[in-house]
Structure 1
Amino acid sequence: MAENTIMLVCAAGMSTSLLVSKMEKAAAARGMEADIFAVSASEADSTIENKNPDVLLLGPQVRFMQSQFAKKVADRGIEVEVINMQDYGMMNGEKVLDFAIELMQKNK
């Protein structure tokens, strides 16, 4: 299976890093190859250029940026969605990974 690149964006990149490690564990348990990483909103633009993610997940604290990110990546077919607040709060890596996979499959 091709590598899946999942980018999480949050205000400072800190809280999301814990979620990233839980998502990586969930992916590894499934034998899924994935590049999952978190960046702060201020680093997001350059990271999109360098990494070309398959999906962009926004932390609930930056949900207001969804439309501006969606416009920036519209021509690339990258899905941009906000992580469910409950899954984010519970740091539910399984559920957030499922959500990312669902979004990536939309574009295949």
Structure 2
Amino acid sequence: MNIYLVCNVGMSTSVLVKRMRQAAETIELEAKIEAYSVEVLEKVKDEADVILIGPQIRHMSKEITKIVDGSCPVETISMRDYGMINGKNVLAQALAVINK
């Protein structure tokens, strides 16, 4: 399972990615959780099972959805969970989107 977070430069989500990985370990979920910038999204989109957009770039959601072109679901991370770096909740969000 590949869960990709997209932010402006790919750096601001690094702590969230770490916490999501920890949350995945606690439930024994094998998942590749990575952060990428919008600039590399075209290269990695086909590997993703879900793409979560950082709330700071939610204004780019239409553009990101167009880049992804239906290869996987795209959703924006809740501002509250992002701000609180709640890896457990963001992982749950990703899994809910994948299991729809």
Q: TM-score, normalised by structure 2?
A: 0.93
> Unpaired segments of 5 or more residues in structure 1?
none
Deviation at 1:59, TM superposition (A): 0.3
Aligned residue type for 1:57: L
Tell me the percent identity: 43
Matched with 2:86 is 92
1:29-108 aligned at under 5 Å gives the runs 29-49=26-46, 52-76=47-71, 78-106=72-100
Matched with 2:9 is 12
Aligned residue type for 1:32: L
Please give the alpha-carbon distance, in whole angstroms, between the structure 2 residues aligned to 1:22 and 1:14. Answer: 14
Secondary structure at 2:48's aligned position in 1? coil
RMSD: 1.2
Aligned length, in residue pairs: 100
- Which residue among 7, 19, 23 is the counterpart of 1:26? 23
Instruction: Extract structure 1 runs of 4+ deviating beyond 3 A.
Output: none
Secondary structure at 1:14's aligned position in 2? coil
Which deviates the most, 66-75 or 13-22? 66-75
Q: In 1, are the aligned partners of 2:5 and 2:51 still within 8 Å (CA)? A: yes
Q: TM-score, normalised by structure 1?
A: 0.86
Secondary structure at 1:15's aligned position in 2? coil
